[in-house]
Structure formats: C-alpha cells, structure tokens
Structure 1
C-alpha cells in the first residue's frame, strides 16, 4: 500500500503522510516512466495577458485529484509534485486543452523531513529527496536536520524534523542542504515535463512555527539564538536565497512562487502567496494584508510581470449568505491588484467556486482587462480617478473593460452612486445578490465586495 498512516486534513499539507488505498500495481501502470518523460513544458505567455478575474485553487489532497473539468475552471492550479508520477501525461494535456489559460504549479516543501513515508511507487520524488530506502528507512544526513547542541530535533510541523536550510549547514559530498534541495527541485520535480512552475511552501526569511528558537546551525556545539539564524541577511535567509538562485539559473523560464515571510529579491521569484488573505476569522488584519498585497505585487522585486496569489478558506461547501459575502470581499480585494484568487472550502482538499469567478456563466475573464493595468500602492489613498482609487474612507473601486469592482473595508454600510447603469451578475449560486438587475447605485455592507457588469445593462 502507498502509505501506512491515517489520512488527515492538514491546514497546510506538507508531505501528506496518508493511507492511500490505490494498489501499487495500478500506480505503476498510470505513472509516466522517467526515461519516457518529455522535455519540460513550454512556459505560457505573459500572465498579465490574462483577463480578469484571475482564479486559482490550492488543492493538496494526496489520495485523488478532481476531474479534469473541475480543475480546469481555474487559471492557476497548485497540486503536489508527486502527481506527475501518479497520473499519465495525458491527464495534464487534457487540463491544458480544457483551459488554455491554465498554469500548473508543483507544490514543494523541502523544510519538513517526514518521520515516515509510504511506498516508493507513490512517493517517488520524496523518496529521492529524503533518501528513503525500500524498507522505509531514511539515510538523509543527520547534519542537514535542525538539532540543538544536545541533539534535540527541531520541528515546525507534527511528525517531522525541520531541515537546516541555512548557508552554515555542514557540507556533505561537496554541498550544503540548500544546494542539494534546489537541485532536487529541478532534477526530480521539474524534469517531469508537466509543470509551468513551482510553489515553494514554508519558504521565507523566518520560520515562526519552529518549536525551538535556539539551535545549532553549524554543528559547532553551540546553539545560535533565533535573531542570529533568521531574518533578512542572516544564515537561514542566505540559504533560501542561494537555493532560489540555483533554481532560477537552472530553470529560468519557470514560474516560482513562495508562500510565507519571504523578501522578493532581484527577480528570482515571480511572486508570493497570501494564505488566509485578509481574513479576520484567521486573526488577520484585512487592511494590512490588502496594503501588503497591493504594494508588493506592484513594487516588489519579483520577476516581471509577476504572479501573486491570495488563498482563503470559507468553510465546508460554502453556501450561506455570509459565505457569499466573505467570498465577494476576498475576491474584490484581490481585484484591486493583479493577483489570482484561490477560494477553498473547509480545507485544502475542497475547491470552491462562486458566481463572481465566471460572471454567473459569462465565462473566464469576463471583466476583460483593467483600465489601469498595474496600479501603484497609492490606489488605496488616492481619490478614484481614471478607473481606480478610493471613494472615501475604506471604500475602493477598480474599473475593467466590461465592468467594475467595489470593495467596502469599512465597518459601516456604504452607498455608491454610479455614473452610468451597470448590471448585477445573473448568479446561479447566489441569486439573491447576483439577481441580474440593472442599477445606478448600490449599497455595500461592511466588509463586502461587489462585481458589476457593463455588458448589456
């Protein structure tokens, strides 16, 4: 069997120690042999050429994938890197045929070394990374794992030991772990030939969730304090930076997206993902997240034109009026800049979809291009003019070729007078809000958003 541990829903699936009931023989039959894999997929066109809204899904279930037609609804799809070994190449061809806008990113985590894995047939890439043998024993070098001076392992995720991604890690066979991990990304993940890019999880200047704030990064018998390990310019960040440089040099056209507290440097990454974006239920400050997203996406040192993603969990099978309002809010906030919005259900194994994502049937990218293509951070302060800006305290607007988007971050209802008639979307999931009516003014509730169409008002 592929695994031996009970399946669990992780808030962030890292290495998925799950029980998978698929027989090894079936896996082997479906997998594409390494020596028959095609060359890496050609890089798609400029992400800024895509019309809006731009949608995404962050699907991390390890036991199965949704049908092609479900995943193909989204413009960016993040799935685990192991699926390239489990699914025939035709599956990915069908995805792209169903949605030529789609960009496929391989989920990668090189920080959390698992205590155990299932079979090599199911976890081929991880077996290579963590050096598991056929008996399920890992020969991964101990000096490349994070330990305190007395040998206590450092962990930032259950049932795992954190790796030593610093540039002070001991050299083994002529390389530090950051170099080894970067080359694995290229040689064992990208080599499958099905990906447009890589999603690097747990990838930042700092690891806040580690259970030890002092540990021995250079195996000299002394624990370094966290302020000498983490932060921009310190050993951990320098190791991350080195790994990024290697990956970018070896696969220069790949889309590289990081999740976490990562400084964007010298166009090594295409962008960042904002997890739990602007969600007060997740103890996020909505305006802080929105300001960071708008600013870093516009001005960050990302590779041009960039690819940013916002991710929100909305609960199991979101269908209530409150769910719909939260979805409108997160999407409208994302539309203030050029990112891709990934709504999920209760966890990262439940994609979600809303009227506003395809206009209630108008089709992908139904809003067209924005009138202001790449707004500066001043969009949140400057009065609305020429298609983007503030309509007053906490109220924002951005116009597109075929509609407009409104966002109310205030704690009071806000009325907006429109200069011409617009049409509410004709919804199938939320027909109460999206009733198809023509309007010349609308009232947005606190923490709400609204998408209006200018087509045939």
Structure 2
C-alpha cells in the first residue's frame, strides 16, 4: 500500500523550515467510509476553502438550500470526487419560526408561505407543539386536514420530489426527525382536533402510519433516489438507511441515547432491513467540542467498523458544521473478511414451534387447564396458540414456558436480545421473563411488557441479566405470563441471544484488523500475527508505525492496525515565502501523488488540522499570525 509523506514548515516574521516525515496511507477507500454532516450554508466566495475539504468525504449531507443558493459548490465537489454521495437535508415534522428570506432560504420561504394553518400540530387546548427550540411542529398523522387535496405529508412529499430531488446535483434526501412516535414530545397532543388529549398508543400508531405513508409516496415518486432517515430504527420499508446520531453530551464515552448492545445490534440488523443500496450513517460528537480527543474518535470509528456504516464526528446537534479529518480516514482497509457478529446462537429449543415439543403451559386455579395450548396454523406457518379461560386477573396464573433446558446459559451482568412474534384476539398486554426455576422463581431481568394487537407483530427487547452467577441452565426458565385476561394468544419465532460486547471486539479486513473496547476496563488481546500501527501526526503515541503482536486497549478506546508496515511516498520539497497576500507554499510534484493535503497548526508538533486538499503544487494561506504547516503527498 502507498502511504503519505509530508514536510513541516513554519512562518513567524522570518522563515523557519522544519522537515519531518510522518506517513499515512490513502488509496481508493473501501473502509473506513467517511461522512460529513455539514448544515451551514456557505456562499460561492467560500467554495475555494470548503469545497476541496468536503470533497474528501465519501458521503455528504448539505442543507437543501445549497442546491438553490450555491449549486456551484455541489458541482465542484462532484468534479473533485465523482463517487461521493450528496443528500439534501430537511426536517420532516417541523420548520423554523424565524422568517426565512427568499434570497438566502428560498425553499424554506416557500414552505412558510404554503403551509396551511390547519396543518400545524396542536395540543387539546390549541397550543402549538415544538420539539427543537425555535421550531414549530406539523401534523404528520393521517388525521391532518386536507386542503386542496393535500395534508402535510402528501404536500411535503411532493415538495421534496419537485423542488429538491428534481435537481440532479442531489443523490437523495436526508429526512431529519423522522420519528416513529410522537407522544414522548408532548403529553397533551390532539392530532385529530377533537379537543381531547389523544391516547398515547393510538397517537403513536397514527403518527407511524403517517410517516410510513409519507415515505411510501416519496419512494414511489423517486425510485432511484436515496432516502436516509434520522430519528428512528423502525421505518425501514422505503429507506436506504438511517443515521445514528450521538446527541447526549453528558456521557463522554457514549451519548447515542441507546445502549452499546442496541448500537451494535441495530448496525448489523439494519443492513439487512433497508433497501439496496444501503447507507447507514454514524455521526459521533466530540466531548467538549474538542476535535483533538483522538481516543473518543477512535472508539466510535472502530465501533462503526463492526458494521458497514459511514462514519463522521463533529461538535454535535447544535452545530453540524465541522470539517475535521483524522489520520485513520486516510487508510485503505479493503473489504471485511468477517461479519463482526456479536449475537450468539439461540439456546431455546423449537422456538419456531414446528410442534409443541419442549414447551409447556403452567395453569393455576381457577383458570381452566383444558386445551390451554394448541398448535396453531396460519397459512402453513405453525405457532403456539394459547387459550386463557376463567381468569382471575393474576398474570402468572397462566404461563407458556421452557425449562430444564441444558443449553439455557444466562451469564451474569451480560446483555441479551429477546425476540418473538405475537398476536391476540384483542389488544392486551403480556409479560416476558427469564427467571429462576426453583424457590421463589426470582426474575433474572427487569420486567418486560409487550403490548399485543390483533395482527402479528415482531417484538424486540434488550435486557441485562442479573443475579445469575451461580445458576446452571437447568435452574433457569424462559416464560410468557398471560393470565391477566381471558382470550387467545399466538406466539412464534421465540429467541434469546447473548449480545457479546463485554470484551474487545475485533474485525479482520483485507489490509488490517480493527479492535474496539466498548467496556469500562482496560483489556489486552493477543493478535494472531504481527500487525502494524498506522503512522500519523495526530496521535503519535498510538499511530507510530510500530509492529505489534499484543495490544492493550484502555477503556473506551479502539485502534486500527495494518497488515503491512506503512510505506511513505516521497516527501514534497517545499519552499515557503511571505507575500503581500499571505504565506505561499510551493513544491515540486511528487511521483505517484494525485493530490496534496495542507495542514496547519499554531504549534510545531501538535494540533494540525487540514485546511485544504489540492491537485496543484502551490498554496496561498492568508494568515496574520504564527503558523506551522505540513504538506502531505496523497497517491
């Protein structure tokens, strides 16, 4: 693999030249795949600065207004990087309350003029509903009144199609705030305008239906455009992917508002659920807005590399407008050689109910045990059909269980995924548990409640085991409690799988190996062969180019190791001059180099950040203070 070489230069009233050699690899990238979420609009005058940097990413999200006010930027980015994917950003369920001037925000101005008063989402006492500060929410449910044949979602789908995706500079649409539910935002919402607060479950079902209708219409009108959403993991039918956004800043290690177990599971699961081509995205945030927190960047990048998502990192949701680039972005890992699987096998016997073997019902007086379970059949698919009769309202008086299973290991303080399908003859709840199979039958997880409907639904629960350290499999049972109400319940496709993340996660690639430690303790791993640290400028204590066969990873850290030692390109021979316009760098072309990356810092040894990537061999920087420079040759 080719690597990068560079020179370090400085100007401070007089010419000072430092010559260093630090190398990174950069070839046509397969992995890692990089993302920039850049929502600040910028003018044509800023293109010369921003365009070359933004063109270095593999996936780019820009505000929808850029296609109107600065289409030149999109064209120039594509000229530099023809393979880049560029999506237009706009929220689905809200718009700013600030007046948008048509000269700078023409599309939002059009929306503000065309949104009908009856489309706003209201509470039962007619108050506006707001999610993000300074915005106002719209009614995305089918209950939204129609005006001239459109409600909000049908109008907005047509707006995205006609005003944005008709512009060939966009590869697709990025739908922010694509929530699958809404009751959590405001407990007083009245989506059908009957002056009564909506039942939360009913409201959420209406909201999800409205979002599904919106996406279906948008997909039908744009079969060849990319549609990626942010804000949920359950509306996958018409999406090409979703974004995982690190919103929470109070946790310096992981702020995605889901657990580590959920993060890794969703990454892998959503790769198979979304439409091809799949573009799942991870946008992390640097704690305290510090771009030089290389450990957190490594942690989140290596965690992302356990799946197929594109990775970016910035200051977070209050300010997506950074162009941070890291040593790790420049390497070519090639394609993965393994899946990065974190899910164990299902230890339950006959979870798909080919028959009723290994499953029993437990029926207590006064419930009627007669015909308490039958083998149901739905279009050739068999399932457990449970009949609850003469209930006294006690949930544990009827149970479907599996016990005496010698494979049912339930490790202490570990993460597990419970999945099943279910339906009932009327809307109701059931409880799911893993418990001791003796004594007081103590539960080994927190309570799990599933809300069943009359249609088959898939149910997924993430649980953590507790108090299981001294238990053997035969002392553990898996159980559904259904005794609260009379009726008939169908259960199928039951599984419980270990999410194995309390360790160093590893994934091998064609050109290296990725290690991630998402735990709170330092861990050591012995490698199957000698690998090499990449060589870079930003974290030389880690990216030092040295060989290794054993790695000690601190808590919440990760590392990318290469199969072969880094080999540098020839270093540019750089000259620096002060001119009336600024500092001019120029050099002879390097054999094998297709472009050159310019980095600068106020310190000769630390804190270098890219300021431009260019194809010619000179660069003018307009500065008024001390600066140090690196010029890196890129193959």
Would you say same fold, with TM above 0.5? yes
Task: Work out which of the residue numbers 226, 235, 241 in structure 2 matches 1:271.
Answer: 241
1:292 corresponds to 2:265: yes
TM-score of the aligned structures, taking structure 1 as reference length? 0.77
Shift in CA distance, 117/409, structure 1 to aligned 2, threshold 3 Å? same
Partner of 1:51: 30
1:96 corresponds to 2:70: no
TM-score of the aligned structures, taking structure 2 as reference length? 0.56
Between the aligned partners of 2:206 and 2:500, the Cα distance in structure 1 is 45
Bigger Rg over Cα = 2
Q: How does 1:125-204 map to 2 (within 5 A)?
A: 125-131=107-113, 140-204=115-179
Partner of 2:39: 60
Between the aligned partners of 1:262 and 1:407, the Cα distance in structure 2 is 23
Q: CA deviation at 1:422?
A: 1.0
Shift in CA distance, 170/116, structure 1 to aligned 2, threshold 3 Å? same
Q: How does 1:247-262 map to 2 (within 5 A)?
A: 247-262=218-233
Between the aligned partners of 1:198 and 1:228, the Cα distance in structure 2 is 29
SS of aligned partner of 1:166? coil
Task: Confirm or deny: 8 A CA contact 2:327 2:537 kept in the other structure.
Answer: yes
Task: Confirm or deny: 8 A CA contact 1:214 1:225 kept in the other structure.
Answer: no
1:74 corresponds to 2:61: no
Task: Work out which of the residue numbers 309, 313, 322 in structure 2 matches 1:350.
Answer: 322
Q: CA deviation at 1:223?
A: 2.7
Q: CA deviation at 1:446?
A: 0.8
Higher relative contact order (CA 8 A, sep 6+): 2
Q: CA deviation at 1:345?
A: 3.3
Partner of 2:565: 456
Task: Confirm or deny: 8 A CA contact 1:413 1:446 kept in the other structure.
Answer: yes
Partner of 1:440: 549
Gaps of 5+ in 1: 1-48, 132-138, 360-365, 382-389
Size of the aligned set, in residue pairs, is 379
SS of aligned partner of 2:214? helix
SS of aligned partner of 1:192? coil
SS of aligned partner of 1:94? helix
Between the aligned partners of 2:557 and 2:502, the Cα distance in structure 1 is 14
Between the aligned partners of 2:258 and 2:146, the Cα distance in structure 1 is 42
Partner of 2:444: none
1:398 corresponds to 2:368: no
- CA deviation vs aligned residue, 1:245-275 (integer Å, no higher than 9, x gap): 1111111111111101241343x10111011
Q: CA deviation at 1:277?
A: 7.5
Q: CA deviation at 1:160?
A: 2.3
Shift in CA distance, 454/315, structure 1 to aligned 2, threshold 3 Å? same
Runs of 4 or more above 6 Å deviation: none
Q: CA deviation at 1:289?
A: 4.1
Between the aligned partners of 2:57 and 2:284, the Cα distance in structure 1 is 15
Shift in CA distance, 115/318, structure 1 to aligned 2, threshold 3 Å? closer
Gaps of 5+ in 2: 1-27, 347-498, 567-635
Q: CA deviation at 1:285?
A: 5.0
- CA deviation vs aligned residue, 1:11-56 (integer Å, no higher than 9, x gap): xxxxxxxxxxxxxxxxxxxxxxxxxxxxxxxxxxxxxx96100010
Backbone CA RMSD of aligned residues: 2.6
Q: How does 1:215-234 map to 2 (within 5 A)?
A: 215-230=189-204, 234=205
Q: CA deviation at 1:284?
A: 3.8
Q: CA deviation at 1:283?
A: 6.9
Task: Confirm or deny: 8 A CA contact 2:313 2:324 kept in the other structure.
Answer: yes
Q: CA deviation at 1:157?
A: 2.0
Shift in CA distance, 151/294, structure 1 to aligned 2, threshold 3 Å? closer
